[in-house]
Structure 1
Amino acid sequence: MTKEVKDFAQGESAAIVRDISAQGDWVPLIDWSSTFPGNRGVNRARRYELYDAPVGVRITIEEARKAGPIFAADQEWDGLGEMVPLCVWQHEEKYHLLYSSHPRVTGNPGLGDGHHLCYAVSEDGYNWTRPHLGQVEWEGSLANNIIANGPTGTPFEDPQAPPEERFKAIGQVGASFDPDTEERLDTQEAYKRWRRQEYEGAAYKGPRMTSRHWVEGWTSPDGIHWKSVGKLGDMSSDGGSAAQYDPETQSYFAYIRVGGMGRRATGLTRTNDFWHWPHAELCLFPDPQDPPDVSFYGCSYFRYPTNKNLHGAFVEIYHQVTDHNDAQIAFTRDMTHWYRPERRAIIPCGSSGSSDSGGARPWGGLFELPDGYWATMYRGHTSLHNYRESEPVIEREPGVLMLARWLPHRFCGIEAEVEGRFTIPSVKRRNNELHLNYRCQNGGYIACELIRGVPSRIHPDADPIPGYSFAESDLLTG
């Protein structure tokens, strides 16, 4: 039996051919795994030289192309506040969107004021309507797009569930209690006690409050009509729950916000039984390469569109000193060990005066638009995270929903600012063509050369295939 080789090794084994068919038609250059690290060896002329080394190149992300706003928090029930995209899915040649609408907070900050789950629909992903659903009465009228009994987390489709449970969601639910009597407190009473506890410290002798959180679940046949199924987990899930069904393992998983790092971070929880969720284990967190004020507010998970074994996430970064939020991108091949190609926003805040100048916060995963772009929805706002009506005055416009877009496989790539070169490992030929997804700046170009295979460290110098040398290559531009 021939032993399967899953990756290239060092030394004499470097020339082993890699089978990349499981990665799909395109192999995204999101890390160094698809480049040969190079070596130094003694060539046929008995000289000790450098061969096939990646020189003058780096992995760099590509900032999103923005579109929108697609609509603003301009309905009466939106309260001029913010909107959070939760889920986009396609059905019957239409795009469907669930989002939560959060009226502007006027009091009791930090305890969570009222919000609504709402629905919108689109033919093309760019132009959306908010149909009247007739489910919830708002100031005496059912003419609104508010959904009754809506979940607090991110909905997902469960293909193996019975029809009445086709859509599911988990999310955090919490309340404030009197720790002595176990009485559940209303928001105003809880905030009054909390404020005094915070400011007066040990000198405060009045009735106290404590907050508790847990995870609940919801099910729906169509994503629009929901019912609560009660408590599913005894843990907090602040900052959003990116739950999914995994068809490969026929199980469920969720990325949720966890603590324990001195910073907000992300944990992973898995279960074979949707009705019971264990505590999440830490998997993605700020590290020493991050600025010291960075926290991870959320992890908007997506499976890479053309490779079931590659996973991505838009990581919402909270910059606590400047009080704004933007998003970086992260990848993993095992759902547990994550890395970020750069510590730079792939969805940055907009310039001063734009609808997303104070925050660009994606959620709800990735979807494809009719024009071929890959996209995610994000909420934009002009205010800063902790700002309320105070001095200095910050102009607060109603929140908006916007699109962040990329051409396929353009999340990141290998870049040379001036001259650079690299070699890909030897790969198993599937047909007689190789395609390159590239872009050159004005005056830039790419030249290619084909060799039989990456040579070993013992015999490092390889001749190009006749007719396919750099000198015979057509330069790629544009």
Structure 2
Amino acid sequence: MRTRPVLKATEPWEKLVWWPKVMYEEGRYRLWYEAVPPDHWDPEIGPKLAWPNPVFAGLLCYAESEDGFTWTKPELGIGSWDGSNETNISLGRETVGPMGLHGASPFMDPDAPPEARYKMFWYGDATPDVVKAARRERPDAIDPRTTDESHVRAMYVGTSPDGLNWIVQDKPAVVFSSDTLQVVEWDALRKQYVWYGRGWSWGRRTITRAETTDFSRWPLPQDVLTASPINPEQTDLYTNGKTRYPGDPTTHLMFPTLYDRATDQTTIGMATSVDGVAWNWTPGNPVLPVGSPEGVDAGSMFVGIGLVPLPGDRIGLPYAGYSYPHKFPANLADSGFSWCTWTRGRLAGVHAQTEGEFRTPPVRLAGSGLRVNCRVQSGGSLRVGVTDEEWSEIPGLGVSDCQPITGDQLDATVRWSGGSKLPVDRAVSLHFSLRTASVFGFEILDER
């Protein structure tokens, strides 16, 4: 489900807005986004901003919300526009230079000292002197395709105590051309910073990945996801939308933007991973097609960052929508941010149109209670049985012992006759039996 636009370009420095990044912190929604100022299309000023495609140069802006739908753009007193710092610009030309930045990805690093609690990674301009110095100091961190040193892009980093006041590193973290929105996070399990960007292989744009323990120094990334075989051959991957499910750091998700060169339009897909390295496309893509002809997202969409809880038992992912196709002159397009939303826990599911069943791999459970997120059609049912590692039904916990579950329930408690509970002293498999029903997930509860 998509919402109406919740934030649009309203300020004098906002001709175009894109690349939304949302964090939900202590009951407050925080949004970072980029605004492309109107002077980038000025025939006298634009060519002086050092970008061959001036739409790349942006200002990092900030907004806040109590509910995720009504946003305010506070006066930060940091970045300036037209001689005034009464703006919501968090990082502007005073710090990063006249060409601005592109695809900035702020994130919170829980293990960092307070003065560097927030970090950011972005795509910027590198002068010939900067590239030559990088070749001398770190020749293995320069894209082999970098040949014309008079026109090079590189990745830069910055740190902040609050996500608003930034200290920028002058040297590039790696000389690699990854345009569109970057995603960087701290992986607590791997004890590494991980970067998901955009690459180019086999004549098509791909999603890349790299990791490092030193946030200021990155290796060259490697491809981790390409277009699905079911997509048309003219499909490219743009923004990757890497995130995790709210409250579950073990569920790695991507919502890549799929660009169709033939139609000049984009859609949003979904991929999953258990470790953030090996990825698989989910069936049923795209999860969000192009919007209606009268909508702000009628032409193209680009997914942002941050799958967060929303009011009313929903979760949402921000995306930027544009009224014209991707390659249409951007300064003529209407732009804004909307939510792509799902009912809590229902990103994907297993559906039985008539009757069906599936089993989980045997695993030792961390609790004796079971709760299921499901939707059962009228006249249907859902039952769950329990088997041992040899697939033999455990007495009292069989499918026939399970009280049938009906209706549409986010947290249906599974009960068996006689009040039996899940065993915690051995590995077991859960056997789901469905009749005109869908199962979106289940949760093990510690009821010992």
TM range (shorter): 0.7 to 0.9
Distance 1:163 1:222 in 2: 9
Structure with the greater relative contact order (CA < 8 A, sep ≥ 6): 1 or 2?
A: 1
The equivalences for 1:196-345 within 5 A come to 211-230=151-170, 231-342=172-283, 344-345=285-286
Change (3 A) 1:467 1:453: closer
Matching of residue 127 in structure 1 with residue 70 in structure 2: yes
Distance 2:333 2:403 in 1: 54
Using the TM superposition, give the Cα deviation of residue 455 of structure 1 relative to its aligned residue in structure 2, in angstroms.
5.0
Distance 1:120 1:281 in 2: 33
C-alpha contact 1:317 1:327 (8 A) present in aligned 2: yes
Matching of residue 97 in structure 1 with residue 40 in structure 2: no
Using the TM superposition, give the Cα deviation of residue 256 of structure 1 relative to its aligned residue in structure 2, in angstroms.
0.8
Change (3 A) 1:467 1:424: closer
Distance 1:473 1:161 in 2: 49
The equivalences for 1:20-59 within 5 A come to none
Distance 1:125 1:138 in 2: 27
> What SS is found at the alignment partner of 2:13?
helix
Q: 1:111: which partner in 2?
A: 53
Q: Deviations over 1:104-147 (max 9, x none)?
A: 77477962334221110111222110112222332343332122
Distance 2:203 2:324 in 1: 26
Change (3 A) 1:438 1:209: same
Distance 1:100 1:387 in 2: 19
Using the TM superposition, give the Cα deviation of residue 173 of structure 1 relative to its aligned residue in structure 2, in angstroms.
1.2
Q: What is the identity, as a one-letter code, of the residue corresponding to 2:350? A: I
Q: 1:70: which partner in 2?
A: 6
Change (3 A) 1:159 1:374: same
Change (3 A) 1:371 1:161: same
Q: Deviations over 1:287-343 (max 9, x none)?
A: 433210111102121123344333111111111111112211111112221001125
Distance 1:427 1:238 in 2: 42
Distance 1:466 1:103 in 2: 67
Name which of 434, 446, 451 aligns with 2:381. 446
Q: What is the identity, as a one-letter code, of the residue corresponding to 2:70? A: N
**Greater radius of gyration (CA):** 1
Gaps of 5+ in 1: 1-64, 183-207, 390-394, 457-461
Moved more, 65-74 or 267-276: 65-74
Q: 1:88: which partner in 2?
A: 22
Moved more, 306-315 or 376-385: 306-315
Q: 1:420: which partner in 2?
A: 356
Q: What is the identity, as a one-letter code, of the residue corresponding to 1:337? A: A
Using the TM superposition, give the Cα deviation of residue 463 of structure 1 relative to its aligned residue in structure 2, in angstroms.
6.6
Matching of residue 156 in structure 1 with residue 107 in structure 2: yes
Q: What is the identity, as a one-letter code, of the residue corresponding to 1:157? A: M
Change (3 A) 1:451 1:130: closer
Using the TM superposition, give the Cα deviation of residue 430 of structure 1 relative to its aligned residue in structure 2, in angstroms.
5.0
Higher-strand-fraction structure: 2
Distance 2:352 2:218 in 1: 46
C-alpha contact 2:19 2:181 (8 A) present in aligned 1: no
Q: 1:376: which partner in 2?
A: 317
Distance 1:452 1:177 in 2: 65
Q: Deviations over 1:430-476 (max 9, x none)?
A: 555322211235x46223252544755xxxxx678569555974351
Distance 1:92 1:413 in 2: 30
C-alpha contact 1:360 1:381 (8 A) present in aligned 2: yes
Q: 2:296: which partner in 1?
A: 355
> What SS is found at the alignment partner of 2:204?
coil
Distance 1:286 1:420 in 2: 30
C-alpha contact 2:376 2:382 (8 A) present in aligned 1: no
Matching of residue 408 in structure 1 with residue 344 in structure 2: yes
Using the TM superposition, give the Cα deviation of residue 425 of structure 1 relative to its aligned residue in structure 2, in angstroms.
4.3
> What SS is found at the alignment partner of 2:60?
strand
Question: Over aligned residues, Cα RMSD in angstroms?
Answer: 3.0
Distance 2:317 2:199 in 1: 23
> What SS is found at the alignment partner of 2:163?
coil
Change (3 A) 1:282 1:425: closer
Distance 1:211 1:353 in 2: 39
C-alpha contact 1:82 1:398 (8 A) present in aligned 2: no
Q: 1:387: which partner in 2?
A: 328
Q: What is the identity, as a one-letter code, of the residue corresponding to 1:101? A: A
C-alpha contact 1:447 1:470 (8 A) present in aligned 2: no
% of aligned pairs identical? 27
Change (3 A) 1:134 1:323: same
Using the TM superposition, give the Cα deviation of residue 103 of structure 1 relative to its aligned residue in structure 2, in angstroms.
4.4
C-alpha contact 2:17 2:33 (8 A) present in aligned 1: no
Q: What is the identity, as a one-letter code, of the residue corresponding to 2:334? A: P
Distance 1:169 1:73 in 2: 23
> What SS is found at the alignment partner of 1:164?
helix
C-alpha contact 1:220 1:227 (8 A) present in aligned 2: yes
Q: 2:406: which partner in 1?
A: 476
Distance 2:24 2:247 in 1: 18
TM-score (norm 2): 0.75
C-alpha contact 2:12 2:37 (8 A) present in aligned 1: no
Distance 1:288 1:376 in 2: 25
Matching of residue 367 in structure 1 with residue 308 in structure 2: yes
Using the TM superposition, give the Cα deviation of residue 238 of structure 1 relative to its aligned residue in structure 2, in angstroms.
1.6
Distance 2:292 2:88 in 1: 31
Moved more, 108-117 or 324-333: 108-117
Using the TM superposition, give the Cα deviation of residue 353 of structure 1 relative to its aligned residue in structure 2, in angstroms.
0.8
